[in-house]
């Protein structure tokens, strides 16, 4: 069975659009063969290290996503912290706004807040079926509001 040329999921050979990421596929008749999926890799970036300002943290986030793309990282764990106020800090809020915006623009495949990163969440179930290596992720099922997972294409 062939694989999606973008996300690497196994897809039906008759499909022209991947049901997972929604990207069009080139057919074998067009002289293109379907590539094998990319090897799974993940990385963690700590945006709160050194007590940065919101702007500095967002700059680090942008750099981390860019570097992860170049390194062909599939899942980026972003540590942004929860904040000391008890209701979520500014870095967390702005980081998640930025990631949601990137997701809506199609620049990242998915964004999973740490508090939703558990085996029972529908998106996470799908992610774990695609990347079984995430079953050993240290934050799985911890409901950690201080992290966000970014799934890259």
User: Taking residues 14-36, what's their average pLDDT?
Assistant: 57
User: Taking residues 14-39, what's their average pLDDT?
Assistant: 57
Of the pLDDT bands very low, low, confident and very high (cuts 50, 70, 90), residue 118 is very high
pTM of the model: 0.74
pLDDT at 83: 80
Residue 44 has pLDDT above 80, yes or no: yes
Of the pLDDT bands very low, low, confident and very high (cuts 50, 70, 90), residue 11 is confident
CATH number of the domain located at residue range(s) 42-151 in this protein: 3.30.1370.110
Task: Give me the residue spans of the domains in the chain.
Answer: 1-37, 42-151
Of the pLDDT bands very low, low, confident and very high (cuts 50, 70, 90), residue 76 is very high
Smallest CA-to-CA distance from 41 within 79, 8, 78, 72 is with 72
Of the pLDDT bands very low, low, confident and very high (cuts 50, 70, 90), residue 18 is low
């Amino acid at each position: 069975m062939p694989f999606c040329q973008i996300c690497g999921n196994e897809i039906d050979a008759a499909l022209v659009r991947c049901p997972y990421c929604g990207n069009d596929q080139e057919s074998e008749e067009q002289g293109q063969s379907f590539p094998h999926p990319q090897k799974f890799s993940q990385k963690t970036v700590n945006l709160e290290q050194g007590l940065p300002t919101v702007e500095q943290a967002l700059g680090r986030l942008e750099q981390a996503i860019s570097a992860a793309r170049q390194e062909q990282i599939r899942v980026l764990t972003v540590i942004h912290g929860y904040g000391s106020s008890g209701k979520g800090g500014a870095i967390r809020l702005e980081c998640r706004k930025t990631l949601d915006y990137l997701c809506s623009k199609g620049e990242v495949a998915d964004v999973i807040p740490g508090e939703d990163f558990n085996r029972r969440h529908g998106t996470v179930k799908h992610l774990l079926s695609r990347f079984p290596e995430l079953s050993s992720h240290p934050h799985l099922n911890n409901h950690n509001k201080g992290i966000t997972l970014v799934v890259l294409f």
